[in-house]
């Protein structure tokens, strides 16, 4: 009896901390822990089309990880590496080109690791890449609003983040095992 109660308590805590709602055949509503993005911080970034190919390739990798598709994530990572390598810092309106170049090199190195077939390794690299991408896009700018999303349960409860074009949480760090675990932490809004 005590074990059953402890187990039920742990399941409840897990569901509560990730914002999960029990699924029924009538309701498949997706939620995230912090409510809507209006409670998140908003950061204005410059409007630019120079990062479009990088963002598109990044989001393609993210979507593959959300779908638990390691093969597609590996394939799309090649597009991301190419987009990062072909990014022209000189053509950007960045106010800190030296830092932008450092972030570009770091992001390229991490993106190259996404080519591995092991989805756990891909997810770890993707989380590290997401941190660098957020910093890079804050300097370089973006062509669309992006949501910095955060899951506190990733990597033994140390947390992990990613970027998305949608407020709705679709967690690439856990995929189908915890698809809606997370919340919007910050909004990168085009200035």
All residues at 6 or more sequence positions from 173 whose CB lies less than 8 Å from its CB, including other chains: 65, 123, 126, 127, 151, 154, 160, 162
Q: How confident is the model at residue 20 (pLDDT cuts 50, 70, 90)?
A: very low
Q: Among all chains, which residue has been given the structure tokens 């963002």?
A: 55
What pLDDT digit, counting tens, does each position of 130-165 carry?
999 999 999 999 999 999 999 999 999 999 999 999
- Average pLDDT for the chain: 83
């Amino acid at each position: 009896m005590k074990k059953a109660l402890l187990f039920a308590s742990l399941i409840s805590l897990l569901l509560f901390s990730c914002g999960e709602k029990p699924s029924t055949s009538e309701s498949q509503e997706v939620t995230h822990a912090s409510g809507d993005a209006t409670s998140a911080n908003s950061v204005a970034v410059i409007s630019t089309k120079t990062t479009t190919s990088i963002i598109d390739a990044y989001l393609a990798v993210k979507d593959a990880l959300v779908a638990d598709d390691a093969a597609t994530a590996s394939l799309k990572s090649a597009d991301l590496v190419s987009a990062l390598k072909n990014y022209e810092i000189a053509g950007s309106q960045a106010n800190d080109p030296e830092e932008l170049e450092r972030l570009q090199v770091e992001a390229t190195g991490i993106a190259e690791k996404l080519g591995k077939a092991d989805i756990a390794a891909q997810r770890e690299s993707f989380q590290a890449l997401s941190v660098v991408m957020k910093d890079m896009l804050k300097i370089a700018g973006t062509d669309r609003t992006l949501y910095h999303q955060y899951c506190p349960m990733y990597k033994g409860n140390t947390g992990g983040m990613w970027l998305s074009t949608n407020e709705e949480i679709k967690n690439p760090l856990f995929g189908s095992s915890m698809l809606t675990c997370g919340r919007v932490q910050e909004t990168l809004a085009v200035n």
